[in-house]
Structure 1
Amino acid sequence: MFKVKSNHTFLNPSRKQIDQTTQGKKSDYAQQVSGVNQLLDKNGIGISDRSRNSVLDNVVKVERGARSEVNAHQREALNFGRDAFQSAKQGHGKQALVEAFGSGLNAAGSVFKSTYTQTPHEKQGITPW
């Protein structure tokens, strides 16, 4: 998705924490988070504590197989949508636009991934049929 450079120095402490959590993770979700996180840090785009905590939780649970990538994207769509409204209310237009865009991307990602990604139960051999 995005080229992640190992020599990037994170300026935002929350984004640095996300980067540290994604290091060494193998899931597509963690790789996508890592690339987008670095891109946003380079452009000075912050992240709310709620969204940071949600992303960290998603990375860990997707990697363990306790949460599907589809569900992780759905959660991020909701959190970034909430953040967009909050940022807009506070008059932070650029931040609100990036968060709204992130919400839309995650919503689209959840729909796309739902067409081919197994749920944690399906990975255990439990089919929905």
Structure 2
Amino acid sequence: MFKVKPNHTFQNPMRQQIDRTTQGKTSDYAHAVGGVNQILDRGNIGISARSQASVMDNVKKVETGERSEVNAHQREALNFGRDAFQSARQGNYKQASVEAFGSTVNGLASMFKSTFTETPSEKQGITPH
């Protein structure tokens, strides 16, 4: 798993819960979440309860194959975008800028993943005509 610091002690309980959700997971998505989550905790960057729940749900569903990594990134782009607007409305511009950046990164990750991730049909050997 991608970790910035292997023995990091989480300061934010919500980020610690996300970290626990990523433990033992093998998907690229879970690995990315684990590393970014740690970086954000080290920077004392919070997360909304809605986004925390969404991230943990995505990690679990991507791992079981119930949700694609592309769709997980799309969902996070939307959630972090909503959070950015809410934070900006409340005057918390540092938090809003981090959330807007997260929204952008997840949007780009979704597009990147969609260019090389096989569809369910392609995984079965059925190629597009």
TM-score (normalised: structure 2): 0.92
Q: Which runs of 5+ in 1 are unaligned?
A: none
Alpha-carbon separation, structure 1, partners of 2:59 and 2:28: 10
In structure 1, the partner of 2:100 is 100
Note the aligned Cα RMSD (angstroms).
Answer: 1.8
In structure 1, the partner of 2:124 is 125
User: What is the letter of the counterpart of residue 88 of structure 2?
Assistant: A
- The 8 Å contact of residues 4 and 34 in structure 1, kept in 2 or not, is answered as no
1:14 aligns with 2:49: no
- The 8 Å contact of residues 62 and 68 in structure 2, kept in 1 or not, is answered as yes
Which stretch of structure 1 is more off in the superposition, 5-14 or 44-53?
Answer: 5-14
- The 8 Å contact of residues 51 and 80 in structure 2, kept in 1 or not, is answered as yes
The number of residues matched between the two structures is: 128
SS at match of 1:4: coil
CA distances 1:12-45 after superposition (whole Å, capped 9, x unpaired): 1110000000011100000000000000000000
- The 8 Å contact of residues 3 and 34 in structure 2, kept in 1 or not, is answered as no
- The 8 Å contact of residues 12 and 46 in structure 2, kept in 1 or not, is answered as yes
In structure 2, the partner of 1:116 is 116
- Closer, same or farther in 2 for the Cα pair 1:128/1:52, shift >3 Å? farther
Alpha-carbon separation, structure 2, partners of 1:127 and 1:71: 21
Alpha-carbon separation, structure 1, partners of 2:76 and 2:127: 25
1:1-129 aligned within 5 A? 3-119=3-119, 121-122=120-121, 125=124, 127=126, 129=128
Alpha-carbon separation, structure 1, partners of 2:20 and 2:32: 14
- Percent identical among aligned pairs is 68
User: What is the letter of the counterpart of residue 89 of structure 2?
Assistant: K
User: What is the letter of the counterpart of residue 73 of structure 2?
Assistant: H
- Closer, same or farther in 2 for the Cα pair 1:93/1:62, shift >3 Å? same
SS at match of 2:116: coil
TM-score (normalised: structure 1): 0.92
- The 8 Å contact of residues 70 and 109 in structure 2, kept in 1 or not, is answered as yes
Q: Which runs of 5+ in 2 are unaligned?
A: none
